[in-house]
């Protein structure tokens, strides 16, 4: 394609963002990736190489920070599209809700304002299932019609995702005339790791393979392969019918952590020797959590069943996610290949 269009991908060193960059480069777009520090550019290239990219001619980098509004005007110059993946991962010392919520909401608004000024056609925002299915419980799968209800049971991270996604829709309605928005809401993201920086869901698989998770907490949630998340962002950016819509990214209903462990044990033979084969009762984890701060973080999720439907993306955009089993094994095999299992 002559005069290639340019896409700004924010938070370029992240797990989802790096796969979005790979998908865009493979589809003939130019990509400008934002990083908080350009020192990370070599790491990003290393990850993209691991993901099969051989030429970086169509890739450039810009320094931008979600806390710094003026950095975005320069970053978005010359871009026709924006895929806004970056979300502040608060420092571990973030205690207050505001440490999550304020940077997430401001970051979204800084990027949207800069995009509007630069004449960007469409922004695709990476939100999360955290903005769909918390603060409520449902027997039927969650859909895009559902929104997280902000009450005391909702964690600061999910609150930040809900508030920042709502702020994006409000911006488009009130100030975004002429600019389009589509939103992707991924569930737990799995898939081949490209470096030792990856999603929380992959941490679970790593702990299972390492033997750090002796038995599984009872938690049921949705999962999706990162390659399919990137493909859904691409479809949300390019297909006319995606404008003004949100799309849940999930492959097949919900899986318990024990289901995930079973997939590993069934398929990985000796490499899965330390993977747990039983579930822990909730009361036991609550007891252990008194002494173990890591388990304290798991406690509110115990007994939770969060199933979601991706019917909308499948029907409206022709999206075809790979089965969860394939995503789980791709995750495990890449962790083993990259020597990330001890």
pLDDT digits (tens, 9 = 90+) for 288-342: 888 887 777 777 778 888 999 999 999 999 999 999 999 999 999 999 999 999 8
Q: Which of 244, 129, 246 is nearest to 184 (CA)?
A: 246
Range of the domain at 73: 6-191+224-250+308-321
81 within a domain of the structure (yes/no): yes
- Rounded Cα distance between 268 and 262, Å, is 10
Tell me what the mean pLDDT of segment 69-81 comes to: 96
Tell me what the mean pLDDT of segment 164-179 comes to: 96
pLDDT band at 93 (very low <50, low <70, confident <90, very high): low
Asked if pLDDT for residue 83 goes beyond 60, the answer is yes
Share of the chain above pLDDT 90, in %: 77
Q: Contact at 8 Å (CB) between 322 and 232?
A: no
Active site residues: 161
Q: For the chain, how many residues are written?
A: 342
303 within a domain of the structure (yes/no): no
**Residue listed under structure tokens 């969650």:** 142
168 within a domain of the structure (yes/no): yes
CA distances (Å), origin 86, targets 103, 215, 234, 332: 11, 33, 16, 25
Asked if pLDDT for residue 88 goes beyond 80, the answer is no
**Residue listed under structure tokens 């907490």:** 217
**Domain with 84 in it: what CATH number?**
3.40.50.720
Total number of domains constituting the chain: 1
130 within a domain of the structure (yes/no): yes
102 Cβ contact partners less than 8 Å away, ≥ 6 residues apart = none
300 within a domain of the structure (yes/no): no
282 within a domain of the structure (yes/no): no
203 within a domain of the structure (yes/no): no
Question: pLDDT (tens digit, 9 = 90+) per residue, 23-57?
Answer: 999 999 999 999 999 999 999 999 999 999 999 99
92 within a domain of the structure (yes/no): yes
Tell me what the mean pLDDT of segment 268-272 comes to: 92
């Amino acid at each position: 394609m002559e005069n290639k269009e340019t896409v700004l991908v924010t938070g370029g060193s992240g797990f989802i963002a790096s796969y979005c960059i790979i998908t865009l480069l493979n589809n003939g777009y130019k990509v400008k990736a934002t990083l908080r520090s350009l020192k990370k550019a070599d790491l990003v290239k290393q990850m993209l190489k691991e993901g099969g990219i051989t030429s970086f001619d169509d890739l450039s980098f810009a320094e931008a920070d979600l806390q710094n509004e003026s950095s975005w005007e320069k970053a978005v110059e010359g871009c026709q599209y924006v895929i806004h993946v970056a979300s502040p991962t608060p420092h571990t010392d973030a205690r207050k809700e505001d440490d999550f919520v304020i940077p997430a909401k401001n970051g979204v608004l800084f990027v949207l304002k800069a995009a509007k000024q630069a004449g960007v056609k469409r922004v695709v925002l990476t939100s999360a299932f955290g903005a769909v299915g918390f603060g409520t419980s449902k027997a039927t799968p969650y859909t895009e019609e559902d929104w997280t209800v902000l009450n005391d049971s909702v964690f600061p991270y999910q609150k930040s995702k809900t508030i920042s996604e709502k702020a994006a829709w409000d911006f488009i309605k009130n100030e975004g005339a002429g600019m389009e928005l589509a939103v992707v809401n991924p569930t737990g993201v799995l898939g081949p790791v490209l470096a030792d920086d990856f999603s929380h869901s992959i941490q679970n698989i790593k702990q299972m393979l390492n033997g750090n998770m002796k038995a599984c907490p009872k938690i049921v949630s949705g999962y999706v392969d990162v390659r399919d998340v990137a493909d859904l962002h691409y479809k949300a950016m390019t297909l006319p019918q995606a404008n003004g819509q949100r799309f849940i990214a999930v492959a097949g209903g919900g899986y318990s952590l024990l289901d995930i462990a079973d997939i590993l044990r069934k398929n990985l033979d000796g490499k899965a020797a330390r993977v747990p084969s039983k579930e822990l009762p909730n009361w036991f984890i609550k007891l252990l959590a008194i002494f173990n701060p890591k388990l304290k973080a798991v406690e509110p999720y115990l007994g939770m069943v969060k199933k979601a439907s991706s019917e909308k993306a499948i029907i409206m955009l022709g999206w075809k996610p790979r089965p969860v089993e394939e995503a789980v094994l791709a995750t495990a095999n890449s962790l083993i290949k990259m020597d990330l299992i001890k």
